[in-house]
């Protein structure tokens, strides 16, 4: 990769990883409701799942997706339906660590969640089609991109979960936790609806 490409990809990876989306919403909510330690499996699981999915797309999944618009639409519906389900649960969660709240994701759940995460699909399809597919040094580019996504992805989940945990004591006053969960649930729902229109 040329320096300009590395710079462009790195900027894309960091911005895309830290901007709001399903992964960071779940991380912040986990931090608030269960603490930073509960989000650590997600810190590892999200990058693992994302990079594995990126390799699948890069090694032939893109051709399958391009040949099957119905499959793409089905995956889009399934992913956004799951996001709306999480949003619904979150909107009605009113207690820290309650059975109503979204449970912390295990490493495997966080990794598998990337399959139905519309933002992850948009990121990896954009990245692989722009920086890797069709290039002679495909494997080297994909390897570099894997590392380039792992670091910001893990750090963004950690940062959002830490911010969530930092708000715990403040949110215990009055209806703040209920309002926070409601806002995060609505943000997740709006994200799902917005992604359905793309």
pLDDT, one tens digit per residue, over 38-62 is 999 999 999 999 999 999 988 886 6
Q: For the chain, which ranges sit under pLDDT 70?
A: 61-62, 65-66, 72, 75, 93-102, 195, 198
How deeply is 182 buried, as exposed, middle or buried, from its count of CB atoms within 10 A (0-12, 13-18, 19+)?
Answer: middle
Q: What is the pLDDT of residues 175-192, one digit of tens each?
A: 888 888 888 788 878 877
Number of residues that this document lists for the chain: 198
Q: For Cα atoms 2, 5, 9, give the angle at the middle one, nearest 5 degrees.
A: 140
Residue 72: predicted pLDDT: 66
The answer to whether the predicted template modeling score (pTM) of the entire model surpasses 0.85 is no
- Rounded to whole angstroms, how far apart are CA atoms 158 and 154? 6
């Amino acid at each position: 990769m040329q320096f300009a490409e590395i710079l462009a990809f790195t900027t894309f990876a960091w911005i895309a990883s830290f901007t709001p989306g399903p992964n960071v919403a779940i991380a912040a909510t986990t931090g608030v409701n269960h603490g930073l330690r509960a989000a650590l499996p997600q810190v590892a699981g999200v990058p693992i799942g994302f990079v594995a999915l990126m390799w699948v797309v890069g090694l032939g999944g893109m051709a399958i997706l391009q040949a099957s618009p119905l499959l793409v639409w089905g995956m889009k519906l399934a992913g956004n339906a799951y996001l709306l389900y999480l949003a619904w649960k979150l909107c009605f969660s009113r207690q820290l660590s309650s059975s109503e709240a979204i449970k912390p994701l295990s490493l495997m759940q966080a990794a598998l969640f990337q399959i139905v995460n519309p933002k992850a699909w948009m990121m990896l399809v954009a990245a692989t089609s722009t920086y890797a597919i069709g290039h002679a040094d495909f494997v080297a580019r994909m390897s570099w991109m894997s590392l380039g996504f792992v670091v910001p992805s893990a750090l963004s989940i950690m940062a959002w979960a830490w911010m969530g945990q930092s708000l715990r004591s403040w949110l215990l006053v009055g209806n703040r936790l209920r309002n926070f969960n409601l806002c995060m649930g609505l943000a997740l729902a709006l994200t799902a609806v917005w992604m359905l229109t793309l």
